[in-house]
Chain A
Amino acid sequence: MVKKRSRKRLIDRQEFWGFLFICPWLIGFLIFTVGPMLSSLVLSLYKYDLANSKFVGLENYRRLLTQDPLFWKSLKNTALYALLTVPLGVLGSLAIAILLNQPIKGVRLYRTLFYLPSMVPAVASALVWQWVFNADSGILNQGLGFLGLPNIEWLQNEKYTLFAFVLMSLWGIGGQRMIIFLAGLQGIPESYYEAARLDGAGTWTQFRHITLPCLSPVMFFNLVLGLVGAFQVFTSAYIMTSGGPNNASLFYSLYIFRNAFEYFKLGKASAMAWILFAILLTFTLIQFAMSKRWVHYEGEAK
């Protein structure tokens, strides 16, 4: 058997066709993603400003970790942002997906409406949110005023800026993540619920013991991507506050951008990118390790 298969011609082999079909993507990935990644790894060992380069070993990393307060500040801002937005975003998306999975009239219209915000270009929505957060006449402060609460200088006071961005991130909960949850919800066979109902399970029990376990792979996927996305937050801060006030919204990617394209410290910026890569890899591995305890795959013996 084995001998016979290996004599098969190349074009008769499934793997050949598989690779052939994905090769446009594969070539692009190698040239435009893996290539630059490797070159940035090399760059991170150099002091490089486009005109002069000097090999410095791990000095870029050492300086970042020991001498750059802004590195730590941007990391702290980003971590806090991720800590708040990822759980809120995942729960919010799940909640909306469940609502939009109800068999009610006009549900397609609602789905479209909730998805709309994520169709808006990031720059445009940043500009809109700038108005929402306007301290004097923004809709948010008007709402607060209506409740008898004082005005908040969302984007001008460093105490609130980060929370303003967290709030703004919730604007995206009806987007892609919600669609994935919705697909996950629709993939759960109705017969499971029927069986549970026959056994006398209430709504909560059904949700807890059927919906959640069946959704756990989707949830896991959304968590991983959510974390990666949160650590790369850039556009909103770049446009709305350019990192201010007093670096309160200096996110990690923004600081990389500044070092690379404003100060032209390309070695340092590359080193920062690799530190971010290491951080994200670590978190993702942790999530994978933990996922064994709570993610349930269909057809997997437990």
Chain B
Amino acid sequence: MAWGNPEQLALEEQLCEQFNRDNPDVHVKFLKVPGSAYANKSVVMLASDTAPDVLRVDHYNFANLQKKDFFLDMSELAKKDPTWNEDDFFPQTIEECKVNNRLFGLNVLFGGTVIYYNKTMFAKEGVEDPYKMWTEGRWTYKSFVDSAKKITKKDSQNRFIQFGVALPIFPTWTPFVYGFGGVLLNESHTKSMLADPKAVAGLQFVADLRYKHGCAPTPAQAANSAFTFEGGKLGMSIDWMGMTPRYRKAVKDFEWDVVPLPVGPVSGSTIVKGNQLVIPKHTKHPEAAWRFARFITSPETEQQLYVTNRRCFPTRKAVANSPEFLESTLPPTQIRIFLSAVKGGKQLPIDERWAEWTTTMNNELDALWSGRETDAKVVAEHAALAINKVLAEEPGW
């Protein structure tokens, strides 16, 4: 069972057919569910023991569902499988699937955040190419802001016609908190760390893009997709690697490429996250399900998914390091930066209560993003209190 855009689903459907051809003893039926209903439907199916034998869940929901004891522990299946080798995969992709060192999923559609930039616009406005700056080690927060400011332009009636960058929405602003050395939650996930000066610095930096430097649209200006990257009205957009196929399809009249997130005062990190293929605990066909999940994450399939079609990023190091993956004739040409982004990528503190505390946090931070309050410290302190209250409650109330 899966969700996604039509291209994604067509590809997965094709993979299922291929699997059925190669495995005459098993027949996989591919179940498509709209993204908006997916989370609900999978929970209800898992709870009522009617879930398909393999389903894809977003990592945002993985922890929560695992905690409810819906997933099969795959550790034994993996141990019995002679071809299984954890070292084939990027460590974060394995880590996402493990709880208490037991394996509960196989990672797919893994990826991190990068900056997509409009090469044509940079050249036209005479702004130095970010990728060049990055290779020369000059791609810092300062040069990022400078570029964004230079790109931002108004017309003769004093109306904005293009902005340097779109304000990242959660969780894509998290790299800036990490960049200043901040974190979202403490180690044990019991306290919000937003009010910590390092996290505040990150939030302030993001808010300043809009309200101090004026190089990002306000929510009102950005409403109804007035400024989008594919529309050619943004110089840069911070987004997941998975946007690549869409931009390849949608962007026709300008050149674009990717560059890593700029290097912050403390570190230059991005965030990484995948989806997981899971097997319901009470499945009647654990072996067949495992075989299918392994097929979807096999080198051959990854080659098809991520090299030929550039869906996100491979979970296998070998595929990611293969010349076929790293060479690209279509934009983004600098696939190498995906690799570096993933290698240094940090994870989000996703836990069973993720939906709850992030909703609270985003509500509180609205004040900052909308400019009602420009001092990030005030907002962050308020937000931290609210999040702490949520986290202090016994879960489930």
Contacts and interface: CB of A to CB of B under 8 A. Distances in A.
Interface of A: 47, 49-52, 60, 63, 130-131, 134-137, 153, 155-158, 243-247, 258, 261-265, 268
A294 B367 CA distance: 47
B223 A51 contact: no
Contacts of B7: none
B223 A50 contact: no
Contacts of B335: none
A265 B64 CA distance: 12
Q: What 7 A-B pairs are tightest by C-beta distance, nearest first?
A: A51-B68, A135-B220, A50-B47, A245-B366, A153-B220, A156-B219, A156-B220
Interface stretch (B198-206, B242-250, B355-363): B355-363
B262 to A, nearest CB: 28
Contacts of A134: 220, 223-224, 226
B43 interface: yes
A247 B363 contact: yes
Given A51-B70, A246-B367, A130 B223 contact: yes
A135 B396 CA distance: 39
B243 to A, nearest CB: 22
10 contacts: A136-B220, A136-B223, A153-B370, A155-B223, A157-B370, A157-B372, A158-B366, A245-B366, A264-B43, A264-B64
A136 B221 contact: yes
B128 interface: no
B43 A50 contact: yes
A57 to B, nearest CB: 13
A47 B367 contact: no
A265 B352 CA distance: 13
Main secondary structure of the interface of B (DSSP, over half): helix
Nearest to A135: B220
Nearest to A56: B397
B40 interface: yes
B211 to A, nearest CB: 14
Contacts of A52: 68, 396
Interface string B26-46: 000000000000011001101
B43 A268 contact: no
Contact of B40 (A49, A245, A261): A261
A137 B222 CA distance: 11
Contacts of A157: 370, 372
Nearest to B223: A134
Contacts of B366: 158, 244-246
Interface string B42-56: 011011000000000
A264 B39 CA distance: 11
A116 B69 CA distance: 50
B283 interface: no
A263 B47 CA distance: 15
Nearest to B386: A69
B218 interface: yes
A155 B64 CA distance: 32
Contact of B223 (A156, A246, A247, A263): A156
Contact of B355 (A50, A63, A158, A263): A263
Interface in B56-80: 64, 68-70
A263 B370 CA distance: 26
A262 to B, nearest CB: 5
B38 to A, nearest CB: 12
Contacts of A263: 355-356
A261 B38 CA distance: 11
Contacts of A261: 39-40
A258 B356 CA distance: 9
A265 B396 contact: yes
Nearest to B367: A246
A136 B47 CA distance: 46
Contact of A135 (B47, B223, B363, B367): B223
A262 B221 contact: no
Contacts of A243: 363
A268 B46 CA distance: 21
Nearest to A263: B356
A264 B396 CA distance: 8
Nearest to B355: A262
A241 to B, nearest CB: 10
Contacts of A137: 226
Contacts of B44: 50
B220 A246 contact: no
B68 A156 contact: no
Contact of B370 (A136, A156, A247): A156
Contacts of B396: 47, 49, 52, 265
Interface string B342-371: 000000000000011001001110110010
Residue among B44, B68, B218, B223 with the highest chain A CB neighbour number at 10 A = B223
Nearest to B220: A135
Contacts of B218: 156
B224 A130 contact: yes
Nearest to A258: B359
A183 B370 CA distance: 47
A270 to B, nearest CB: 13
Contacts of A265: 396-397
Contacts of B364: 246
Interface in B180-225: 218-221, 223-224
